[in-house]
Structure 1
Amino acid sequence: MLSADSSKESPQSISRDIALISRIAAVPSMLKMICDETGMGFAAVARVTDLSWTACAVHDNIGFGLQAGQQLELHSTLCCESRVARTPIIIDDFSTDAVYRGHHTSKIYKLGSYISVPIITPGGDYFGNLCAIDPRPARVSEPRVVRMFEVFATLIAMQIESEQRQSSTEAQLATERETGTLREQFIAVLGHDLRNPLSAVNATAEYLVRRTDDTNLVNAGNRLKRTVSRMARLIDDVMDFARGRLGSGMAVSIQPVDDLDERLRAVVDELRLGNPSCDIVTDFAVTRPVACDPYRMQQLLSNLLGNALTHGAAGEPVFVRAATDNNHLYMSVENRGEPIPSEVLQKVFEPYWRPPTSSPGGGLGLGLFICKEIVEAHGGTIKVSSSKEDGTRFTAQVPVSK
């Protein structure tokens, strides 16, 4: 089914662009989200020129057989037509589409549905396409689906240009104003263009949950709500990372909080609901008010506990402790399982770092980085210890007063 493209392009330039996409850590999660939300079986970021079509990143649930670095014959694809027109090509069903019914691409690759959106950098350079295919028809022309592709293509294009600038002298001389503009564009795209359709999806989930006369619809609504919650946390983490790295810093609103114990219990209850098979053991003794940002402290516990539930050994409990003394709030989360190797123990707080054993698309690797930023914004410290005998424990220490 696959064939190599015998272009005259430099192998070095192709390899350089494949490596560039591999450095954008959010791409695997984007491709997985595309397949999850659309039902499409295969999604890819493709480098498309007037000479070649090359896969730079793929998510394959249907055994299409194409891997990153492999090529298709350019004119066997519809991406070349999208490149010429600089517009998306969207086909719900090849068999009924007025324009593409019987098109050679659908015959060659036995496709039922197809969507391809150009990746064009803010400077106007055409890199390639964000595309998805499936042997079955799919409703990819829905506005929410098209908008998701356009937003992701925009984010990838912005990151491509950023990576290219970093490798040039121009990047070293970029002004603070240019960086601020990039920050605002990045946060605006995430905050507005992703949150608005997410709100619509959540409203649909709420409607389904209220259909108490149909158990299947209620279950579907609850699953959809959990998906919305995961996507919202992903957006929050990326926005916090963008602010922290691009100048604004971690935003906190410090205030005396006398019900932190109750707020932390609510976080645990929420994660218990989403992980009914996991045993979460709590020991809370927060006996005095704490000067903190209550939302950020909940986010800190949610990230630490979510990490422990993901990486802890199945069937083993997770321990959550929080206590105060005269000077500090102490919060710890502990799980059993394979220890973190000592040589990489301190890397866990680096952005985009994920354990080598993590499954592809499992997250962006920003959760623990955000934890560190939250704790430091409160004037505290966070540390990790890990061993076969004692398990893995994250401990945060924050002053109770400012």
Structure 2
Amino acid sequence: MALHIEDIGRQLEVVAKIPGISAILKLLRDQTGMRFVGLARVTPDRWITCAVLDEGGFGLVPGDELDVHTTICKAQLNGPDTVVFDDADADPIYRSHPAPQLYGFKSHMSAAIRLNDGSYFGSLCVLDPDPVVVNNERNIGMLEGMAALVGRLLDESFAHGATLQALNEEKAAGFSREQFLAVVAHDLRNPLATMHVASELLTRSPDAAMGRIGKRLRGSAARMTGLVDDLVDFARGRAGSAMPIRMSACHDLDAILEPVVQEIRDIHPTRNIRSDLQLGGPVWCDPARLQQLVSNLLGNAVTYSAADSQIVVQGTVQDGEATVAVTNWGNTIAPDRIDCIFAAYTRDSALCEDTSLGLGLHICQLIASAHGGTLSASSDASAGTRFAMRWPSSAGR
């Protein structure tokens, strides 16, 4: 991906919006004991701070610029990708370099950040005013790994931003919103796959801090995947195609839905989510679509319920009818809003600060209809807010 110098302002905004960057800076600080960790955008003519964790009194904040010709990072444009020394005064190469004396550091680590196409974005820098023993394989490997991860996160964010920019430009040309939602969903598939792979690798790391970063990244990827799935289904419906559904006799639906509940618990470990699934089997359904429905309903419940309240997932089969329901307690839905909450792009901003597209309940209703069933909602202070899908539990009913 070619990055233009005149777009540096936008590039800084992209970096600021990546939540994993601050966690990476903290991890490097904790693991090295050095008091300054920064991410810089570096070009042949400019050195600009993108993100910084400064406990060493260097005084840099995002947006600050240094004379690139006085920095060690400039050498990475055409030289070594990684530069590490414990004490500038004792280093045969960098004792005469202007940077240590000019900016007041003794120990230094920096690794080049490269994008997927091999282009150089900038540098991940770790500094300290005092000499620190950091020049070893463990620290160098960790720094280079974090620089590679930052590059991957930047690739994904720039790709996402480019897709959204294309969406806005096409909207201005008069194309419909639904057509471009399909474009966004399609273009996010590959970046999301990369996020999933990166999160799994980090989760398996023996380093506990990296494992926690992996779990957070995995949760973000799962939420984004759910959003993309909703966009694809919605765009397909607006294009006149029916929601694809594969009905079969599912003999253990409880075991299929329970991992979805656990996934939401993992993403929101402080929430009390109780599962009471007694569907048994066989139940005539599309298991994957029911997983999607439960995930959407649970995500909706987490968003709109009180943080200290319980969320209950229930599943039953009675008199030839299967029911899956999610109930939460908190602010109730006004009676005059019940009938319209299943419409696309509907969000109840009065209840919380919701940043979703408002497609989740609409998709759930499509899933219920595809099963020959219904999705209903009820809401009051004592019984809670309950969404229930009901459909025939056997074929031909």
Shorter-chain TM range is: 0.5 to 0.7
Q: 201, 207, 219: which is aligned to 2:201? A: 207
Correspondence for 1:268? 261
Compared CA separation, residues 216 and 287, structure 1 to 2 (3 A): closer
Compared CA separation, residues 157 and 249, structure 1 to 2 (3 A): farther
Q: Work out whether residues 253 and 280 of structure 2, in 8 Å CA contact, stay in contact via their aligned partners in 1.
A: no
% identical aligned pairs: 33
Correspondence for 1:98? 44
Compared CA separation, residues 257 and 140, structure 1 to 2 (3 A): closer
In 2, Cα distance between the equivalents of 1:333 and 1:378?
18
Compared CA separation, residues 322 and 33, structure 1 to 2 (3 A): farther
Q: Work out whether residues 304 and 330 of structure 2, in 8 Å CA contact, stay in contact via their aligned partners in 1.
A: yes
Q: Work out whether residues 327 and 401 of structure 1, in 8 Å CA contact, stay in contact via their aligned partners in 2.
A: yes
Q: Which runs of 5+ in 2 are unaligned?
A: 1-12, 23-38, 49-61, 66-123, 126-146
In 2, Cα distance between the equivalents of 1:38 and 1:226?
12
Q: What is the CA deviation profile of residues 291-321 of structure 1, one whole-angstrom value per residue up to 9, with x for unaligned ones?
A: 1110001111111112112211122211211
Map 1:323-342; keep pairs closer than 5 Å: 323-342=316-335
1:321 aligns with 2:314: yes
In 1, Cα distance between the equivalents of 2:353 and 2:170?
23
Task: State the secondary structure of the residue aligned to 2:199.
Answer: helix
- Give the Å deviation of 1:226: 0.8
Supply the AA of the counterpart residue of 2:204.
R
Q: Work out whether residues 140 and 146 of structure 1, in 8 Å CA contact, stay in contact via their aligned partners in 2.
A: no
Q: Work out whether residues 195 and 221 of structure 2, in 8 Å CA contact, stay in contact via their aligned partners in 1.
A: yes
Map 1:141-156; keep pairs closer than 5 Å: 142-156=154-168
In 2, Cα distance between the equivalents of 1:302 and 1:33?
30
- Give the Å deviation of 1:36: 3.1
In 2, Cα distance between the equivalents of 1:271 and 1:33?
27
Which runs of at least 4 in structure 1 moved beyond 4 Å after TM superposition? 31-34, 37-40, 99-102, 136-142, 358-361
Compared CA separation, residues 209 and 327, structure 1 to 2 (3 A): same
In 2, Cα distance between the equivalents of 1:332 and 1:32?
39
Map 1:2-401; keep pairs closer than 5 Å: 35-36=17-18, 97-98=43-44, 111-112=63-64, 142-162=154-174, 183=179, 187=182, 189-191=184-186, 193-212=187-206, 214-357=207-350, 360=353, 362-401=355-394
Q: Work out whether residues 93 and 112 of structure 1, in 8 Å CA contact, stay in contact via their aligned partners in 2.
A: no
In 1, Cα distance between the equivalents of 2:240 and 2:358?
20
Compared CA separation, residues 387 and 287, structure 1 to 2 (3 A): same
Q: What is the TM-score when the length of structure 1 is the normalising length?
A: 0.60
Compared CA separation, residues 151 and 385, structure 1 to 2 (3 A): same
Q: Which has the larger radius of gyration?
A: 2
Task: State the secondary structure of the residue aligned to 1:357.
Answer: coil
Q: Pairwise CA RMSD of aligned residues?
A: 3.2
Q: Work out whether residues 381 and 397 of structure 1, in 8 Å CA contact, stay in contact via their aligned partners in 2.
A: yes
Task: State the secondary structure of the residue aligned to 2:331.
Answer: coil
In 1, Cα distance between the equivalents of 2:155 and 2:259?
36
Compared CA separation, residues 112 and 346, structure 1 to 2 (3 A): farther
Compared CA separation, residues 246 and 159, structure 1 to 2 (3 A): farther
Compared CA separation, residues 331 and 199, structure 1 to 2 (3 A): same
Q: Which runs of 5+ in 1 are unaligned?
A: 1-30, 41-91, 103-109, 114-135, 167-181
Q: Work out whether residues 380 and 396 of structure 1, in 8 Å CA contact, stay in contact via their aligned partners in 2.
A: yes
Supply the AA of the counterpart residue of 2:159.
R
Q: What is the CA deviation profile of residues 217-258 of structure 1, one whole-angstrom value per residue up to 9, with x for unaligned ones?
A: 111111111111111111111111111112212111111111
Correspondence for 1:74? none
Higher relative contact order (CA 8 A, sep 6+): 1
- How many residue pairs end up in the alignment? 273
- Give the Å deviation of 1:156: 2.3
In 2, Cα distance between the equivalents of 1:380 and 1:323?
14
